[in-house]
Amino acid sequence: MARGGDARTAGARTVRAARAARAARTVPALLTAAALLATAACSGSGGKDGEGRESGDGGGKGVGTERMTVAMVTHAGEGDTFWDIVKSGAEQAAAKDNVEFLYSADKEGDEQAQLVQTAVDREVDGLIVTLAKPKALESVVKKAVRAGIPVVTINSGARHSEPLGALSHIGQDESVAGEAVGEELNREGREKALCVIHEQGNVSLEERCAGAAKTFDGSMDLLNVDGTNMPSTQSSVEAKLQADQDIDAVVALGAPFAAAAVKAKENAGSRAQIATFDLNASVVKALRAGDVRFAVDQQPYLQGYLAVDELWLHRTNANVLGGGEPVLTGPAVVTEKDVPRLEKYIERGTR
Amino acid sequence: MTATAKAPAEPADERLLHTSLLRRLMGRPELGAVVGAVAVFVFFSFAADSFLQVSSLSTVLYAASTIGIMAVPVALLMIGGEFDLSTGVMVTSSALVSSMFSYQMTANVWVGVGVSLLVTLAIGFFNGFMLVRTKLPSFIITLGTFLMLTGLNLGFTKLISGGVGTKTIGDMEGFDSARAVFASRFVVGDADVRVTVLWWLGLVALATWILLRTRAGNWIFASGGGANAARAVGVPVDRTKIGLYMGVAFAAWVAGQHLLFEYDSVQSGEGVGNEFLYIIAAVIGGCLMTGGYGSAIGSAVGALIFGMTSKGIVYAQWDPDWFKFFLGAMLLLATLLNAWVRKRAEATK
Report all structural domains of chain B as residue ranges with CATH numbers, in order of start. 41-348 (1.10.3470)
Q: Three-state DSSP class for B308?
A: helix
What distance in Å separates residue A67's CA from the closest CA in chain B? Answer: 27
What pLDDT is attached to residue A20?
54
- Sign for the CA dihedral angle at A203, A259, B102, B193 comes to positive
Which phi and psi angles does B145 have, rounded to 5°? -60, -40
Stretch B176-198: mean pLDDT, rounded?
91
pTM over 0.80: no
Give which of B168, B148, B165, B260 is closest to A80, Cα–Cα: B165
**Cβ–Cβ of B163/A229 closer than 8 Å?**
no
Which phi and psi angles does A333 have, rounded to 5°? -85, 125
CATH 3.40.50.2300-classified regions of chain A:
68-172+300-330, 174-297
CA-to-CA distance for B122 and A300, rounded, in angstroms?
A: 39
What pLDDT is attached to residue B314?
86
**Cβ–Cβ of B66/A235 closer than 8 Å?**
yes
B137 in contact with chain A, both atoms CB, cutoff 8 A: no
Q: Which fold has domain A174-297?
A: Rossmann fold (3.40.50)
Is the confidence at residue A331, as pLDDT, over 90? Answer: no
Tell me which residues of chain A, numbers 75 to 94, contact chain B at a CB-CB cutoff of 8 Å.
77-81, 84
What pLDDT is attached to residue B259?
93
Q: How many residues in chain A?
A: 351
What are the tens digits of pLDDT across the range B62-94? Answer: 999 999 999 999 999 999 999 999 999 999 999
B104 in contact with chain A, both atoms CB, cutoff 8 A: yes
What pLDDT is attached to residue A345?
85
Is the confidence at residue A54, as pLDDT, over 60? Answer: no
What pLDDT is attached to residue B313?
84
B13 in contact with chain A, both atoms CB, cutoff 8 A: no
What pLDDT is attached to residue B13?
58
| Per-residue exposure over A101-135, b if at least 16 CB sit within 10 Å of its own CB, e if not | bbbbbbbebeebbebbeebbeeebbbbbbbbbbbe
What are the tens digits of pLDDT across the range B91-111? Answer: 999 999 999 999 999 999 999
CA-to-CA distance for A325 and B169, rounded, in angstroms?
A: 44
**Cβ–Cβ of A43/B108 closer than 8 Å?**
yes
Q: Which CATH class is domain A68-172+300-330?
A: alpha beta
Is the confidence at residue A146, as pLDDT, over 50? Answer: yes
Alpha helices, DSSP H, located in chain B: 2-6, 12-26, 31-47, 54-79, 87-105, 109-134, 138-161, 175-182, 195-213, 215-225, 227-232, 237-262, 274-284, 296-315, 323-348
A323 in contact with chain B, both atoms CB, cutoff 8 A: no
**Closest residue in chain A to residue B57, using alpha carbons only:** A239
CA-to-CA distance for B329 and B337, rounded, in angstroms?
A: 12
Q: Which helix or strand (DSSP H or E) is residue B187 part of? A: strand B185-188
CA-to-CA distance for B282 and B72, rounded, in angstroms?
A: 7
What are the tens digits of pLDDT across the range A6-38? Answer: 444 444 455 555 555 555 555 555 555 555 555
DSSP-derived secondary structure letter, A72: E
CA-to-CA distance for A68 and B268, rounded, in angstroms?
A: 33
**Closest residue in chain A to residue B321, using alpha carbons only:** A224
Angular region, A250: left φ>0, alpha ψ -120 to 50, beta rest: beta
What pLDDT is attached to residue A2?
39
**What ipTM is given for this predicted complex?**
0.80
What are the tens digits of pLDDT across the range B265-310? Answer: 898 888 998 999 999 899 888 888 888 888 999 999 999 988 998 8
The string of DSSP letters for A3-21 reads STHHHHHHHHHHHHHHHHH
**Which residues in chain A are closer than 8 Å to B107, comparing Cβ atoms?**
37-38, 41-43, 47
